[in-house]
Amino acid sequence: MKTYLYLFISLLLFTSCSDDDDFEPQTEEDIIQYITDNNLDATRSNSGLYYVINTEGTGTRPTSTSNVTVAYKGYFLDGTVFDQSNDNGISFGLNQVIKGWTEGITYFKEGGEGVLLVPYNLGYGANDYSSIPGGSVLVFDIKLISVN
């Protein structure tokens, strides 16, 4: 009887996790298609992060441990906005955010503006996070207001 119970529980657990088999993260090809469709002049870093510098800025360039103030809008490749700051931005340590921001913000100087295209492995990963589906490429319009 115990064998049947273990078999039933194992089968139940296996089938309840089967949605993971349908998981297909967005890929680098999706990012490249977005760049092409939007006529962006993007640079790819060694980590797979793509970034666009629209305005280089003239101030200090932050390091990966700097505290910064950034105004931003975050959205998915389809244009759906999931988060946005006000024009005054928000302040945070670059060692306290997703890897794509820790790396990407360092490409700008104070006053710089541009776009970060963050692959899922440098964002929130394969798991859902709040309103962000797992495997999502994240796009951020950013303005580095200051290095604090």
Tell me the per-residue pLDDT of 75-131, one tens digit each, with 9 for 90 and over: 999 999 999 999 999 999 999 999 999 999 999 999 999 999 999 999 999 999 999
Model-wide pTM > 0.75: yes
Interval 127-139 mean pLDDT = 96
Distance CA 108, CA 140 (A): 13
- pLDDT tens sequence across 43-67: 999 999 999 999 999 999 999 999 9
Asked whether the beta carbons of 75 and 85 are under 8 A apart, the reply is: no
- Domain 26-147 belongs to what topology? Chitinase A; domain 3 (3.10.50)
